[in-house]
């Protein structure tokens, strides 16, 4: 009986692991855009245009 519960829990974790990784490990687009602007990779005009595209 205990083994069945372990298998069920393992399947549930496996099924949702990709969804959990997306939420925990990836930055959203606006955060990436802000970092690129802070590093000087894009100009203010590019930043504003891209920010408007995201909204």
Q: What is the pLDDT of residues 11-33, one digit of tens each?
A: 888 877 766 665 555 578 889 99
Q: How many domains does the chain have?
A: 1
**Domain around 18:** 2-54
The pLDDT confidence band at residue 36, using thresholds 50, 70 and 90, is very high
pTM assigned to the model = 0.52
Integer Cα distance of 46 and 13 in angstroms: 41
What is the pLDDT of the chain when averaged over all its residues? Answer: 85
The pLDDT confidence band at residue 52, using thresholds 50, 70 and 90, is very high
């Amino acid at each position: 009986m205990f083994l069945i519960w372990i298998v069920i829990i393992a399947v549930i974790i496996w099924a949702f692991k990709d969804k959990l990784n997306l939420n925990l490990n990836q930055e959203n687009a606006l955060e990436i855009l802000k970092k690129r602007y802070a590093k000087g990779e894009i100009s203010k005009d590019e930043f504003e245009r891209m920010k408007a595209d995201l909204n």
